[in-house]
């Protein structure tokens, strides 16, 4: 079955460490997104990519980095510059060529600073 | 840019009652309006969507209405059940290459048995 897979489900980071969250999709979608969700809060856009080897900053890109070397993959690195990284991270994708512009979301990665 | 306001932020109903969540958008060029349901610890799932050329869409117990003139759209859930308890997000998009979804801040729906 086609879908979008995030790993790991839970991730613990020591202060000063960089960590990378994985997002893989086999839906042949062009665009991919990373969102941050804090408890009881909405979805805040970190980065997005509409095509391989291209990506744009969202509303809260500081302290994060991404790459888009393959259509299927859009990993997110949370750097030590992100002072409050504890949150639930969601990856999403969509196919720009369709008339339906809805997103497919992954199941999320919960990152905790220890 | 587009801004989506969602109300209420929390909603509690008795099982069997109806629930209504409302959203307003600012960009008149928006033409696609999906609704997502997010259960605890999971990613949001698309439950229903509507395009700007349609005023209402229904799928079993859920329906969405759109008023383009007033720039607002609503989610209606009838005969609510405890499993409807979740956070619901509305969103708006202009579609095309610049058509990123803009999300509302969410509504936490609690259905009491």
Contact with chain A for residue B44, Cβ under 8 A: yes
B59 confidence band (pLDDT: 50, 70, 90): very high
Contact with chain B for residue A100, Cβ under 8 A: yes
pLDDT digits (tens, 9 = 90+) for B65-109: 999 999 999 999 999 999 999 999 999 988 765 678 899 999 999
Q: How far apart are CA B26 and CA B3, in angstroms?
A: 5
Residues of A with CB below 8 A from B32's CB? 100-102
Closest-CA residue of A relative to B96 is A96
The DSSP code sequence of B60-108 is TTEEEEEETTTTEEEEEE-S--GGG-EEEEEEEB--GGG---EE---EE
A100 confidence band (pLDDT: 50, 70, 90): low
Lowest mean pLDDT among A86-100, B5-19, B70-84: A86-100
- Disruptive mutation site among A31, A32, A42 for chain B (greatest number of B CBs within 10 Å): A42
Q: How far apart are CA B19 and CA B37, in angstroms?
A: 14
Residues of B with CB below 8 A from A42's CB? 89, 103-106
Question: Residues 62 to 91 of B: which have CB under 8 A from any A CB?
Answer: 89
Residues of B with CB below 8 A from A96's CB? 96-97, 99
By Cβ distance, the residue of B32, B42, B46 closest to A107 is B42
Q: How far apart are CA B85 and CA B38, in angstroms?
A: 9
Q: Which of B86, B58, B68, B88 is nearest to B24 (CA)?
A: B68
Length of chain A as a residue count: 114
Q: How far apart are CA B37 and CA A90, in angstroms?
A: 14
Q: How far apart are CA A25 and CA A110, in angstroms?
A: 19
């Amino acid at each position: 079955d086609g879908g979008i897979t995030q790993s790991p489900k839970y991730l613990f980071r020591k202060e000063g460490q960089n960590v990378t969250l994985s997002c893989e999709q086999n839906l042949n979608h062009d665009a991919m997104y990373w969102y941050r969700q804090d408890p009881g809060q909405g979805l805040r856009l970190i980065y997005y990519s509409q095509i391989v080897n291209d990506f744009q900053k969202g509303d809260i890109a500081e302290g994060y980095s991404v790459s888009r070397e393959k259509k299927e993959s859009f990993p997110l690195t949370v750097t030590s510059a992100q002072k409050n990284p504890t949150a639930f991270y969601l990856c999403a994708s969509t196919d720009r060529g369709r008339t339906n512009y809805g997103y497919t979301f992954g199941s999320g990665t919960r990152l905790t600073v220890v | 840019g587009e801004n989506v306001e969602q109300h209420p932020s929390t909603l509690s109903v008795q099982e069997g009652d109806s629930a209504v969540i409302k959203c307003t958008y600012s960009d008149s060029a928006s033409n696609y309006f999906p609704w997502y349901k997010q259960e605890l610890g999971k990613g949001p799932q698309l439950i229903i969507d509507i395009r700007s050329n349609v005023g209402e869409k229904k799928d079993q117990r859920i329906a969405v209405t759109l008023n383009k003139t007033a720039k607002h759209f609503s989610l209606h859930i009838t005969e609510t059940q405890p499993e409807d308890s979740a956070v619901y997000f509305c969103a708006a998009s202009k579609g095309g290459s610049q058509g990123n979804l803009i999300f509302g801040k969410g509504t936490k729906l609690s259905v009491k048995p």
